[in-house]
Amino acid sequence: MVMDSNRQQRDYDKFVETNKGDTAVRTLLAEHDIPITDPIPVTVTSATPDTASRKYGTALVTHNTEATLVTYTVPTSNTYVLTGLNIFGEADGEFIIYVNSIVQMTVRNSPSEPSKFLTINDNNFELTGDDILDIKVTNCSNRQNAANYDATIIGGVV
């Protein structure tokens, strides 16, 4: 079998529709390979599902006020694992991690340590379909009336 030199055409030729309307992967065979007469059906899904591998949020927060930085709702029938959290604040802040409005963990930053990266190896952060993960912050600074804060969640649907 001679391969088409046009890469786009070769990639297109990898897929075939079966007589049942299913999409299947066609194996490009060499001359001495055993031919496959009935392709194996495969289900093609989105290449970029909402897995929230990284989701970022930011807010300008006034003194003694709680604000939401990131919210993520786990897609129905899925499991999401939070594996990390990156936080930053211009001023003292208390970052609060909520799952379904219940506090799971708090983390503080300070002017001497404005940003932190947390690696989470805890099964408590395995969320199921329709669970809501919120990262909120309270501006705790006595010196700064309003400050910028941000957070990035790291994880994904498994």
List the structure tokens of 56.
């970022």
The predicted structure's pLDDT at residue 53:
81
List the structure tokens of 49.
């599902």
C-alpha 21/C-alpha 43 separation (Å) is 11
53 compared with 136, residue with greater pLDDT = 136
The predicted structure's pLDDT at residue 1:
44
C-alpha 118/C-alpha 137 separation (Å) is 16
The predicted structure's pLDDT at residue 31:
52
> Which residue ranges form the domains of the chain, and what is each CATH number?
7-42 (no CATH), 54-157 (2.60.120.680)
Share of the chain above pLDDT 90, in %: 56
Say if CB 58 and CB 150 are below 8 A apart.
yes
Of these ranges, 18-32, 35-49, 103-117, the one predicted with the greatest mean pLDDT is: 103-117
The predicted structure's pLDDT at residue 32:
52
Say if CB 71 and CB 134 are below 8 A apart.
yes
In eight-state DSSP terms, residue 30 is P
Residue 5 has pLDDT above 60, yes or no: no
The predicted structure's pLDDT at residue 4:
47
Say if CB 75 and CB 132 are below 8 A apart.
no
Share of the chain above pLDDT 70, in %: 66
The predicted structure's pLDDT at residue 148:
96
C-alpha 122/C-alpha 8 separation (Å) is 44
Block residue for tokens 């190896």: 121
Residue 72 has pLDDT above 50, yes or no: yes
The predicted structure's pLDDT at residue 143:
86
The predicted structure's pLDDT at residue 82:
92
